[in-house]
Amino acid sequence: MDRVRIGIVGIGNIAPLNVAGYLADPRCDVVALCDPREDKARQMASEWGVPTVYTALDDLLADPGVDAVEILTPTHLHKEHVLAAIAAGKHVSCQKPIANSVADGVEMTDAAHRAGVVFRVSECFFHYAPLMKAKELIAAGAIGPPTMLRVKTVVGTTNTTFQNQLEPQGYVWRFNAQSPGGHLFDDIVHKYATALWLFDQDITSVQAVVRQAPLFFEAPTAAIWEYQRETLLGMMEVTYAPHMSLRSSYYGADEFFEIQGTDGFIWVTRATGEMLDLPPVVVYHPDGTTTGYSNLDADWRSGFLNSSRHFVDALIEGRPDPEMTGELAVKTLQLCFAVYQASNERRPVDPASIRDAVSPPWWPPNLAETPAFLERYGREPI
């Protein structure tokens, strides 16, 4: 294949970030959009210069001019849509998380292998330059053997053009039984994936405490996990700060990654947010000196652009296993569910033991209680 003709399935809130990379790639043609909202689809097709609009997935998949599809539909539809695309012989990129259950993710991955098509799950954090630099430095031995990963996420408030333009209806399915969980499932899956990808090590045991917060948030959450190598551990904290303004060009969220090694440490100081006046990557060396990598493209959007380019690379170069394979996406989902299960049952959980789905006990949330919950959140007397 010397050019990729791609169809986009779903044009919701996240679509502009994913489509931009394909539109900018001279080796790729976005040839069709598919969405049941025909007026919206035609509007976006006009903006993006896409020649064909479909309102039914079967019609797009029957188009011989489409080589591959980008599935950007709600997660509960991923299995149906991915299996249909595979059956039609199309290569597939699918938005994260892979599916609503481990069994569904395995079925999708196995189907792609049998059909001989490329199947990957789109993961922008794998293509975000500061995290890519951190992985490169770890592999080069810059901090010695890594011994601890710490991942911090805080969600607060922000006022950005990006967030203000989001369509509220794009969130409805995230807040009800169409999703097996809330924020830990929908967003923290990026961090679970990164925890596996940074070290190429499986996680063998998880312990966690997950609390309920307003809306679909699950915070505070604290988790610790063990990797295959006994001298490597990971920990994660997720907090919700509804009265805290966050510097961001996108969502009101901020991430911080610390990788401690025997000889030094690496900080990745940003991703979605821009909270700290520090270089995107800071390395503390064995001799006590530090290096700040200020010349990296730390715009969160760039991870999406690079991810789309990576899928085009895989198809043109004939690589059957792009960076986030179905297998890795399934392990990511198992880690997500292991955090829920470890908290629910107050015991260590092996992610590999999970075959279906796990939800927190309060899921789905009662949204009618949200105003009162927000009013008292974090303010109960000690």
Residue with tokens 């490169």: 136
Element (H, E) at 239: strand 233-245
Q: Given a cut of 80, is residue 380 above it in pLDDT?
A: no
Give the tens place of pLDDT for each residue, 68-104. Answer: 999 999 999 999 999 999 999 999 999 999 999 999 9
Burial class (CB in 10 A: 0-12, 13-18, 19+), 23: middle
Encode 77-115: b = buried (16+ Cβ within 10 Å), e = exposed.
Answer: bbbebbbbbbebebbbbbbbbbbbbbebbbbbbebbeeb
Write the DSSP symbol of residue 3. Answer: S
Cα 259 from Cα 257, distance rounded (Å): 7
- Quick one: tokens of 74? 């709600």
Give the tens place of pLDDT for each residue, 14-24. Answer: 999 999 999 99
Using an 8 Å Cβ cutoff, are 96 and 328 in contact?
no
Residue with tokens 């059909």: 115
Using an 8 Å Cβ cutoff, are 194 and 124 in contact?
no
Give the tens place of pLDDT for each residue, 326-355. Answer: 999 999 999 999 999 999 999 999 999 999
> What domains can you pick out in the chain, each with its CATH number?
4-124+303-322 (3.40.50.720), 126-298+333-353 (3.30.360.10)
The 3-state DSSP class for residue 273 equals strand
User: Is 0.95 surpassed by the pTM of this model?
Assistant: yes
Using an 8 Å Cβ cutoff, are 270 and 255 in contact?
yes
Give the tens place of pLDDT for each residue, 10-68. Answer: 999 999 999 999 999 999 999 999 999 999 999 999 999 999 999 999 999 999 999 99
Q: Given a cut of 50, is residue 382 above it in pLDDT?
A: no
Q: Given a cut of 90, is residue 1 above it in pLDDT?
A: no
Give the tens place of pLDDT for each residue, 250-290. Answer: 999 999 999 999 999 999 999 999 999 999 999 999 999 99
Cα 206 from Cα 37, distance rounded (Å): 42
pLDDT score at 321: 78
Give the tens place of pLDDT for each residue, 149-159. Answer: 999 999 999 99
pLDDT score at 193: 98
Q: What is the average per-residue pLDDT within 125-129?
A: 98
